Amino acid sequence: MPSYAEFPFSQVDVFAPGPLPGNPVAVVHGADALTTGQMQRFANWTNLSETTFLLEPNAPEADYRVRIFTPADELPFAGHPTLGTAHAWLTAGGQPRDKGELVQECGAGLVRVRAGGQSGAAEYAFAAPPLRRSGPVEQATLEQAVASLGVDPVRVLGSNWVDNGPGWMGIRLDSAETVLGLRPDFAAMGSLNLGVIGAYGAGGPADYEVRAFVPSLAVPEDPVTGSVNAGLAQWMRWEGNAPENYTVQQGTVLGRGGRISITNEADTTWVGGACRTVVSGQVTI
């Protein structure tokens, strides 16, 4: 007979300016005894875009270690799980070495997180990690991506690899309205993971609208995505196609209203938003 154990559990809404508009992440606390297989099976069961597992750190400078799973695979880094896990760790009584900043250890290395509070809705921001892959997208791959999005190529203003772990390709379109009108063909998209951004005009609900498509990881469209916004922000900053600081709305087509803030300080891009605990208790794994 298989053996089971109980673990403290949190479900946190991330990039959520109000009740329930953001992207939930499931967080299992004190998960050091779980195997990789157990973690993956539980992440598949939650059926959220990501589930995380809090572990004791290996790096002496880290406050905690986290493993991040989609329903189908493990990721070295992801943005909304980073903020949601930081919030869950603090809310459960975690004490950071630095009161103003956490250090998270994950597959991508060490990630700095600014902590905005320990209860209720609090603001957090992570320092965008270096891109693992950047540069121009190969023409055939770009043509596949554009065709899978069902968008007229004349509306594509630019593209670039913006991969900080999940394999992102960034595509910049001519407007937020074009982004909202996309009707992607996930079969045609194949293994591509696409982040698409377009600007709002004056008076819009935010400066940009973003959508993120990850069918290869069993997440056809992610509601609100920190990692892709981090990569898009770094790319657009390098090319001079965005202001230093701006806001993003994401999840509109899915009935969400995620809100992300991008702030550039010196050489660091900070990706921020509000977090709130929605579910807390025990889970049996």
Span 67-126, pLDDT tens digits? 999 999 999 999 999 999 999 999 999 999 987 799 999 999 999 999 875 556 789 999
> One of 6, 50, 138, 221 is an active-site residue; which one?
50
**Token pair of 262 as six digits:** 């991008």
Taking the model in full, what pTM does it have? Answer: 0.95
* Dist. CA 133–CA 226, nearest whole Å: 17
**Token pair of 253 as six digits:** 């087509």
Going by C-alpha positions, the residue among 145, 166, 157 that lies closest to residue 229 is 166
* Residue 115: per-residue pLDDT: 87
Assigned architecture for domain 133-266: Roll (3.10)
* Residue 100: per-residue pLDDT: 78
The structural domains of the chain, with segments of one domain joined by +, span 6-128+272-284, 133-266
Task: Report yes or no: 56 and 64 within 8 Å, Cβ to Cβ.
Answer: yes
- Told to judge if 50 belongs to the known catalytic residues of this protein, a careful annotator would answer yes
| Domains 6-128+272-284 and 133-266 are alike in CATH topology | yes
What is the arithmetic mean of pLDDT over 204-231? 97
- What totals of helices (H) and strands (E) does the chain contain, helices first? 6, 17
What's the fold here for domain 6-128+272-284?
A: Diaminopimelate Epimerase; Chain A, domain 1 (3.10.310)
